[in-house]
Structure 1
Amino acid sequence: MKKSLFILCFLCCLTLAACGTSGASSSGGSSSAGSGSGSSSQQEPEEPIPPEEPVFDLSSVQLVNYEGVVEHLFFHPVVAYPELAFDGDKQSNGIDDWMVTVDEYNKILSSLYANDYVLVDINQVWSESKDESGNPVMVRNELMVPEGKKPLILSFDDVNYYPYMLENGFTHKLIIGDNGQLWSYGKDPQGAEVISQDLDAVTILDKFVREHPDFSPYGAKGCLSLTGYCGILGYRTMTEKEDTSAAHEENRQREIEAVKPIIAELKRTGWTFGSHTWGHVNLTDRPLEVIQADTEKWMNEVGSLVGPTSILFYPHGARPDGDDWHQTGPKFQYLQSKGFRVFCSVGTESFSYIKKDICAVICDRLHPDGTTLRHSRDRYLKFYDAKDVMDVSVRPQREIDWQ
């Protein structure tokens, strides 16, 4: 039986101790958000009390069942400092291809809002049910949205803050500020510490929804697609083959404890989690035994922290067994047996298909980034106009089709 999409569930997971950095300079909408850990007082620090999230008044609108395509856009972490990202080193062109800048991201969010999209939770679009014979199947749920609005899923790949990102103009991690909200911690081009809500994809979207509650009428934000080989959310929670020392394990346990309140606050404020595999594994090329070992490692090191998820985002967009549309091979069957039900790749349109032979949905997502800003303007006009969004002045001088 179909379920209604939107039963608003705000988990009452209050945050624990704040884990910011004291003495940081501020940027944009910043404040002294990090709480220091070097107090000489014997008294335990008070836990920050998170503010109430804005709730859109659904009684003020007419809700209608939306039966069309649910659009799905995904981003990588956004570039906070273009002068570091696009400095001509070996990372510059890759960042130019696959990321957007903070300024571009803000423009895209504003355009999505102006074009009547509203955020929905990917976990609420489909659900598992039973067919007439009692077999498990996936079904598309009713999507009740404000009249005139269109549902939109957002997902964010590689929200792990890899080492190369820390050197190339990205924020370093998420923290909880003294006001109980999520902030980002990082360093500016001069090396000064910066705590902000205006430099990271997560905190920017949080702030946008606080200012425009009708953009997320049921409290949804996005789904964070996590690997595990460099830890998660900027915290080095991973095991290491090269370092099995007691010191490494002690630091890993500290990082695990530090990230728990971040996860709780993300969940409380409408964020969800999906697997991007532990080691960013190519599901087309790698043998089944490698995928099995990787999946177990993800569940042990990431799933144990963020909780179970039914969402799998294919690294590189590579499909299990090479083709999840026309066949259901042993890799897909294994991944489905581990609890994954919604399998997301990358494509030229927002596409979804409920598989007939196994309880699963396969999807494609669109990717706002430097590649599509340069070469796919027409395809994205329903969302935004690349001519209005792309900051050509800060990016490498490469070919643009629409100029």
Structure 2
Amino acid sequence: MNEQDRGRRPSGGRSMTERERRLREIRRKKRRQRAIRNRIIFGVVLLILLILIVLAVKAIAGAIGGSGSNAANTTPAADISSSTADETSAAKETSAAEETTQAASDLLSQAQLLAASYDYDGAIALSQTIPGYESDAQVTAAIAEWEQTKTTLVEVDIETIPHVFYHSLIVDPSKAFHNDEARATDYNQVMTTVDEFNKITQEMYNRGYVLVKIHDMAQNVDGTMQKGKILLPADKKPFVLSIDDVSYYEYMTGDGFATKIVIGDDGYPTCEMQMDDGSVQTGGFDVVPLLEAFIKEHPDFSYKGARGIIALTGYDGILGYRTAPKYGDPSTPEYQANDWYKDINVEQERADATAVVARMKEVGWEFATHSWGHKDMGEASYDNMVADMEKWLDQVNPLLGGDTDIVIFPKGTDIGSWRGYDDNDKFEYLKSVGFDYYCNVDANQPWVQFDSRYLRQARINFDGYEMYYCQDKLAPFFDADSVFDSSRPTPVKKM
């Protein structure tokens, strides 16, 4: 057999050669490798399909849930912004509505306070500034009531209005009535205690008295005095009030009186008083703060916000402030005799006094001259009276705003008789420097004299002497026996 014949596969049962076996084995391996590769490919494809199916299912579930839960709990950014803006706007509208309601309530309260003090026109006008007042049942009912009340008011005859007055009140009777004999006697005669004042005020209120201003009685219109118009309920009785010598003089130190008028934390005038331990307390130690407190509780005791008249001298300053020149002038005998003057800043005292006066005038208090040196203007010569008044006009009037037009005569006297001020040089001088109202003290009954150039009014003193000896004269106002302070020494010494 040649080499070519050896390389062929015989037909029939001839056995395979080594080469053929290797070739077959190679073919088997390739088949196995293809099968394995195909299975791997199939598995990868199947895995990818499964992943895609899972993702698709989740997406579908999310889409279905978004139409429910997301709609309820998730809001797109634009919607969130819009919702927040709506909520903020609603809150602002609610706040604005509440502020408007509160403002309306405040205005109505202020109007009610005006009506309580008989200023019905002012109350109605203020109420009508409340937005939408026409549809507010409470406001319209109040306006209707005030309109009806106005029809019942009675015009007061100003020539029948009494004028009552006090001096600074005694806070501590044990000091005022039991020190220097001369001062104690004077205090017992012409002063009133805090307890007496409070009882008198309450009794006058109970009897229907209403405080009015002297400027309510008449006004200077273009140089001519014209009667004012005071309208009150028929059962009310007007009166004017004044307080003399609210200067807290040096000689009163330690005698149981207040020492100064100041403006309290509430913005209203009150008093300071120096205590025995050297401390200073603030409170109702004189007519001014006591009357303020009473009017706050009883606004119907004051006609349109009326307060009293403060009658001031000048030689020791005003309202407890040492405003007189002597406190800052080393050349004066007083300065040389009193070392404590050196501690006084007179300019600061004047500035403080001016500020207190300004606030008191805002509240309703009025101011009058009581002369500079507490001069008896009826007995003084013309030149002497003028010289004294020039001091007052120069030193005191500027602290009061420069517009004082009331004279309250010291010592109760007057510059003319009951017939009036015709051909009266003293009157002509006082009129020329701006005074229109003239008030004396009458020993009998109060009276008013009206003239085209002035209003003249007599005053009744509510003090220890009058309560002890002149009870009948005081009877229209209060019962002196029930008011009289038991701490007073009796009998009160006759004048």
TM bucket normalised to smaller: 0.7 to 0.9
Deviations 1:204-242 (A, max 9, x none): 000000010111130011010011111000001111299
Matched residue, 1:223 = 309
2:140 paired with 1:82? no
Aligned partner of 1:318 among 413, 422, 426: 413
2:203 paired with 1:145? no
Q: Does the Cα contact within 8 Å between 2:192 and 2:464 map onto a contact in 1? A: yes
Deviation at 1:179, TM superposition (A): 3.1
Letter paired with 2:212: V
Question: Where do residues 176-255 of structure 1 align in structure 2 (5 Å cutoff)?
Answer: 176-188=263-275, 190-240=276-326, 243-244=329-330, 251-255=345-349
- Distance, in Å, in 1 between the alignment partners of 2:366 and 2:111 is 16
Provide structure 2 residue ranges, at least 5 long, that are not aligned to the other structure: 1-109, 121-145, 336-340
Matched residue, 1:155 = 242
Deviations 1:354-374 (A, max 9, x none): 247xx1222210110001100
Letter paired with 1:110: Q
Matched residue, 2:465 = 371
- Distance, in Å, in 2 between the alignment partners of 1:138 and 1:260 is 29
Matched residue, 1:125 = 217
Q: Does the Cα contact within 8 Å between 2:171 and 2:285 map onto a contact in 1? A: yes
Change over 3 Å in CA distance of 1:111–1:67 after alignment to 2: same
- Distance, in Å, in 2 between the alignment partners of 1:400 and 1:232 is 29
Q: The residue matched to 2:399 in structure 1 has which SS?
A: helix
Q: Does the Cα contact within 8 Å between 1:111 and 1:383 map onto a contact in 2? A: yes
**Taking structure 2 as the reference length, what is the TM-score of the superposition?**
0.64
Per residue, is there more helix in 1 or in 2? 2
Matched residue, 1:334 = 429
Deviation at 1:54, TM superposition (A): 9.2
- Distance, in Å, in 2 between the alignment partners of 1:268 and 1:280 is 27
Question: Where do residues 244-323 of structure 1 align in structure 2 (5 Å cutoff)?
Answer: 244=330, 251-307=345-401, 308-320=403-415
Letter paired with 1:336: K
- Distance, in Å, in 2 between the alignment partners of 1:306 and 1:341 is 16
Change over 3 Å in CA distance of 1:322–1:243 after alignment to 2: farther
- Distance, in Å, in 2 between the alignment partners of 1:196 and 1:378 is 36
2:491 paired with 1:398? yes
Deviations 1:18-45 (A, max 9, x none): xxxxxxxxxxxxxxxxxxxxxxxxxxxx
Change over 3 Å in CA distance of 1:128–1:221 after alignment to 2: same
Deviation at 1:323, TM superposition (A): 6.7
Q: The residue matched to 1:354 in structure 2 has which SS?
A: strand
Deviations 1:331-382 (A, max 9, x none): 12111111111110001222111247xx122221011000110011111111
Change over 3 Å in CA distance of 1:84–1:383 after alignment to 2: same
For structure 1, which segment, 100-109 or 282-291, has the greater mean C-alpha deviation from structure 2 after superposition?
Answer: 282-291
Change over 3 Å in CA distance of 1:251–1:367 after alignment to 2: same
- Distance, in Å, in 2 between the alignment partners of 1:317 and 1:327 is 20
**Structure with the greater alpha carbon radius of gyration:** 2
Q: Does the Cα contact within 8 Å between 2:271 and 2:285 map onto a contact in 1? A: yes
- Distance, in Å, in 2 between the alignment partners of 1:53 and 1:81 is 40
- Distance, in Å, in 2 between the alignment partners of 1:91 and 1:400 is 12
Between the aligned residues of both structures, percent identity stands at 34
Deviation at 1:249, TM superposition (A): 11
Deviation at 1:92, TM superposition (A): 0.6
Deviation at 1:294, TM superposition (A): 1.5
Q: The residue matched to 2:367 in structure 1 has which SS?
A: strand
Q: The residue matched to 1:218 in structure 2 has which SS?
A: helix
- Distance, in Å, in 2 between the alignment partners of 1:267 and 1:129 is 21
Matched residue, 1:349 = 445
- Distance, in Å, in 1 between the alignment partners of 2:230 and 2:468 is 33
Deviation at 1:256, TM superposition (A): 0.6
Deviation at 1:138, TM superposition (A): 2.3
Q: Does the Cα contact within 8 Å between 2:179 and 2:255 map onto a contact in 1? A: no
Deviation at 1:96, TM superposition (A): 0.5
- Distance, in Å, in 2 between the alignment partners of 1:166 and 1:378 is 34
Change over 3 Å in CA distance of 1:177–1:137 after alignment to 2: closer
Deviation at 1:325, TM superposition (A): 3.0
Equivalent residue pairs, number: 341
Deviations 1:46-68 (A, max 9, x none): xxxxxx99934244444321125
- Distance, in Å, in 2 between the alignment partners of 1:138 and 1:314 is 20
- Distance, in Å, in 2 between the alignment partners of 1:309 and 1:249 is 30
Matched residue, 1:72 = 163
Q: Which has the higher contact order (CA 8 A, sep 6+)?
A: 1
Q: Does the Cα contact within 8 Å between 1:374 and 1:400 map onto a contact in 2? A: no
Letter paired with 1:55: L
Q: Does the Cα contact within 8 Å between 2:464 and 2:492 map onto a contact in 1? A: no
Q: The residue matched to 1:55 in structure 2 has which SS?
A: helix
Q: The residue matched to 1:111 in structure 2 has which SS?
A: helix
Deviation at 1:244, TM superposition (A): 4.1
Aligned partner of 1:385 among 479, 484, 493: 479
Q: The residue matched to 1:240 in structure 2 has which SS?
A: helix
- Distance, in Å, in 1 between the alignment partners of 2:484 and 2:493 is 10
Provide structure 1 residue ranges, at least 5 long, that are not aligned to the other structure: 1-51, 131-135
Deviation at 1:398, TM superposition (A): 1.0
Q: The residue matched to 1:334 in structure 2 has which SS?
A: helix
**Taking structure 1 as the reference length, what is the TM-score of the superposition?**
0.79
Q: The residue matched to 2:326 in structure 1 has which SS?
A: coil
- Distance, in Å, in 2 between the alignment partners of 1:158 and 1:254 is 22
